[in-house]
Amino acid sequence: MWADLLRTAAEDCLAALGRGADRDWAHPAYGLDWSCRETLDHLALGLVGYTGLLVARPTDRYITLLASLDPHAPVAGCLEGVGIAASLLASSVRDTPAGARAWHPWGHSDATGFAAMGITELVVHTYDITRALGVPWTPPDDLLPPVLTRIFPDAPAGHRPFGTLLWCTGRGPLPGLPRRTRWQWDGTVRSAAGEPRAGDGTRPV
């Protein structure tokens, strides 16, 4: 399921980004210090990084492989690169044993956690870029509830999933809840009762 969700997210996000490929990608991404082009590079780096963590499974550090997009390539070529990175992560999610764990500063995680992280990166940075470029876009509602449940256990109920994800990641308010100024997800592997499992790292604060 998670590999398929990741592929669906990538397809939807890349289609939206492609609609703005002819616009000014040197413009700052919405709410970020990076340009739209730099945000896309960050996205590719993150997706490849999560893939590497699932492959190497370090217990106390990030991997030494860093991936970036060709700075001279056209936007369409860079979008292809992000698609490749998302496909690599989806394949790693599919092939990683359920009991495997890897380090992450926001909670040692399993394949489902890294898939949820990848979907979050895709969705929020597509939002950052499309909003800056003036491209209307919202992700499918059914894409995000599993992500919110998996890595945002404190997500408030009763709101549309996309708005909730934007609130969780400090990108906007919700009714009765101001915009967050600090945030992070929790990749810790939890039991059915929602508690961190022994040996899976500490729960981030």
How confident is the model over 123-170, as pLDDT tens digits? 999 999 999 999 999 999 899 999 999 999 999 999 999 999 999 999
How confident is the model over 56-112, as pLDDT tens digits? 999 999 999 889 999 999 999 999 999 999 999 999 999 999 999 999 999 999 999
Residue 184 lies in a domain: no
Residue 152 tokens, joined: 């945002």
Residue 99 lies in a domain: yes
Q: Looking at residue 27, which CATH number applies to its domain?
A: 1.20.120.450
Residue 185 lies in a domain: no
For the entire predicted model, the pTM comes to: 0.92
Residue 193 lies in a domain: no
Q: What is the DSSP letter of 32?
A: S
Residue 200 lies in a domain: no
CA dihedral of 171, 137, 120, 152, whole degrees rounded to 10: 60
Distance CA 66, CA 48 (A): 8
SS3 190: strand
Residue 160 lies in a domain: yes
Residue 90 lies in a domain: yes
What is the domain count for the chain?
A: 1
Residue 137 lies in a domain: yes
- Residue 38's domain comprises 2-168
